[in-house]
Amino acid sequence: MAKYDQPRLAVRKMYKLFINGAFVRSESGRSDPLWDGSEFGANIARGSRKDVRDAVVAARSAQPKWLATNPGTRGLILYRLAEMMEARHEELVDRVREGSDLSATAAETEVVAAIDRVIWYAGWCDKYNALLSTRNPVAGPHFNFSTAEPTGVVGILAPDEPALLGLVSVLMPALVSANAVVLVASEKDPRTAIVFAEALATSDLPAGVANIITGFRAELGPILAKHMDVNAIAFPDGPLTEELQRHAAENVKRTHPYHRKGRDEWFEPAAQSLDAVAAYSEIKTIWHPAGI
């Protein structure tokens, strides 16, 4: 057998955006180098205004189909996402380690916690509405029902850390309640988010339901907040909070600043809850005459 001993350069990874179920280059063609200390890590696509708009169009088109999917089937699809994450377990651990300077044990702990959290939320798909809905007491010959419906298209700015657990903690509640999402990945190190997107792409989740864009939070966040076809936006409480709330007020967009004081808080039981699902739901009330 011939021996191949020619010198070669390392193959540098170019991470793309995940929009409408496909991995695409930024419309602007821009990318930014990501460094691991003094070592080159990867090229990261830098999302633009046009990329955000394309993602919102995809999400708006996909959301009614996701809502029409049987809740039990939605749960199975999200469970399938956990299966795909499990299949990429080692790769996710490597990416979390690279982006956070964690030990192998700490990275392993985060990946396991993230997979378990996806499974936990998957189980709520066919249950949350029963707990959030109610029959209201009224005087007169009427029934009065309150039921949970999705907000619609949700923009989310993911936390910088924990890169994987934080991402699934803010994404999953919106998917459980049948919303479609445009998510801006961690600015510190978005590689984990794109590997997660590769699991999304093979999870049976309909194209456009979850879109992941990389780039600068200060650039992409206000675009999402101003977009008139985005119904809600979630973001870490910080320097952008006031600006995002001001832009969101222009079309009465719901805002969800989330508060986590440190990495450890994302591992606590309070970081996963039915309240998080309710935050991305609209409680609609229906009156109906009795006996008809």
Instruction: Give the pLDDT confidence of 156-166 residue by residue, as tens digits.
Output: 999 998 999 99
Q: Which CATH superfamily is domain 15-289 in?
A: Aldehyde Dehydrogenase; Chain A, domain 1 (3.40.605.10)
The residues, any chain, with a CB within 8 Å of residue 273's CB and separated by 6 or more, are none
Residue 109 reports pLDDT greater than 90? yes
pLDDT of residue 225: 96
> Which amino acid makes up residue 111?
V
Phi, psi for 51 (deg, rounded to 5): -65, -40
Place of tokens 């999870």: 203
Higher per-residue confidence, 245 vs 98: 245
Residues forming a β-bridge with 194: none
Q: Give the strands of the sheet with 39-45, arranged side by side.
A: 14-15, 39-45, 31-36
Residue 267 reports pLDDT greater than 70? yes
Q: State the CB neighbour count (10 A cutoff) for residue 2.
A: 4
Is there a contact between 229 and 62 (Cβ–Cβ < 8 Å)?
Answer: no
What percentage of residues in the chain have a pLDDT greater than 70?
97
Integer Cα distance of 25 and 239 in angstroms:
29
pLDDT of residue 286: 75
pLDDT tens across 185-222, in order? 998 889 999 999 999 999 999 999 999 999 999 999 99
Phi, psi for 194 (deg, rounded to 5): -75, -35
Residue 240 reports pLDDT greater than 90? yes
Higher per-residue confidence, 102 vs 110: 110
Q: State the CB neighbour count (10 A cutoff) for residue 171.
A: 24
pLDDT tens across 44-92, in order? 899 999 999 999 999 999 999 999 999 999 999 999 999 999 999 999 9
Higher per-residue confidence, 261 vs 91: 91
pLDDT of residue 291: 62
Residue 292 reports pLDDT greater than 60? no
**SS3 annotation, 116-166:** HHHHHHHCCCCCHHHHHCEEECCCCCEEEEEEEEECCEEEEECCCCCCCHH
pTM: 0.90
